[in-house]
Amino acid sequence: MALVELNQVWKTYKTGKVEYDALRGVDFKLEKGEFTAVVGPSGSGKTTMLNIIGGLDRATKGTVLFQGSDITRWSLTKLSLLRLKNIGFIFQSYNLVPVLTARENVELALILRRWPADKARARTDELLEAVEIADLANKRPEEMSGGQQQRIAVARAIADRPALVLADEPTANLDTATGNALLTIMEKLNRDEGVTFLFSTHDPRVVERARRVATLEDGVVVSDRIVAETARV
């Protein structure tokens, strides 16, 4: 059973009397343990596709299966629980809580999932080590570089060992060295913790590291190819 399966998914947006099809009959499967990139020009539907998989948006037509369950018509409450328990998100803009320290930003994700305080602290410290930023545990986002903030976002995304991490342009605001270092960390998490990653990206650095690349154009998957069978770490 695939982790995620999209069957003939359409997404139509309406603005006044104007309609626009962001996705047009997308078929796509994602297996557990993949490290996959979805690429394509701006407006091709990449972010829309990730948002639908993550339950942040709804398909207009078609079905979306997550671990075999059709989430297409789930209530907002049920979709919120799906995200809380099964999906981690990494955004281009980091989305950290500015008044919290690095440690508190990660711990918050576990507290919301009802982890006991001692276990949440231990898991947080483990993750800060994993993303190589333990020395900044007590710093707030404003005291960190963009790359450091994104490492905290990665730690937060995988804190509760989700089945899937959706990463929307996670390296877009990072310089070459920082972006490559972050990708190496995510590859290691994919290998060591079995985290499944699905990227939306324009970044050739991500494409080079991906083991599968799907290309969207005008809301349609025009190619989908395996480029490596095992992690390149």
Q: CA–CA separation, 81 vs 137, rounded Å? A: 28
Query: Structurally, how many domains does the chain consist of?
Result: 1
Planar angle of CA 185, 230, 150, nearest 5 degrees = 20
Residue 17: predicted pLDDT:
87
154 falls within a domain = yes
For the stretch 10-23, pLDDT in tens is: 999 998 889 999 99
Tell me, yes or no, whether 81 lies in a domain: yes
**Mean per-residue pLDDT for 56-85?**
96
User: pLDDT tens-digit profile of 129-148?
Assistant: 988 999 999 999 999 999 99
How high is the pLDDT of residue 233?
43
Band of pLDDT at residue 229, cut at 50, 70 and 90:
low
pLDDT tens digit sequence for 107-117: 999 999 999 99
Q: What is the pLDDT of residue 92?
A: 85
SS3 92: coil
Kindly report the number of other CB atoms within 10 A of residue 118's CB atom: 8
Per-residue DSSP letter, 116: -
Give the confidence band of 124 by pLDDT, cuts at 50, 70, 90. very high
pLDDT for res 144: 94
Dist CA 42 CA 90 (whole Å)? 19
Nearest in space to 40 (alpha carbons), one of 219, 225, 174? 219
pLDDT band at residue 173 under the 50/70/90 scheme: confident
Cα 124 to the center of its chain, rounded Å: 19
**Res 172 pLDDT > 80:** yes
Q: What pLDDT, on the 0 to 100 scale, is given for residue 49?
A: 97
Residue 231 pLDDT > 60: no
| Structural domain boundaries enclosing 213 | 4-226
End-to-end CA distance of the chain: 27
Q: Which of 84, 77, 40, 30 is nearest to 197 (CA)?
A: 30
The CATH number of residue 159's host domain is 3.40.50.300
Q: What is each CA distance from 171 to 44, 47, 70, 79, 203, in whole angstroms? A: 19, 15, 31, 27, 7
Residue at 105 is within a domain = yes
> Of all residues in the chain, what percent carry a pLDDT higher than 70?
98
Predicted pLDDT of residue 58:
95
On whether residue 231 sits in a domain, the answer given is no
Q: What are phi and psi of 166, to 5 degrees?
A: -100, 120
Entry pTM: 0.92
Does 233 fall in a domain? no
Instruction: Give the pLDDT confidence score for residue 51 in this predicted structure.
Output: 96
Mean per-residue pLDDT, 70-77: 95
- The distance from CA 222 to its chain's CA centroid, rounded to whole angstroms, is 22
Predicted pLDDT of residue 230: 59
In a domain, 9, yes or no: yes
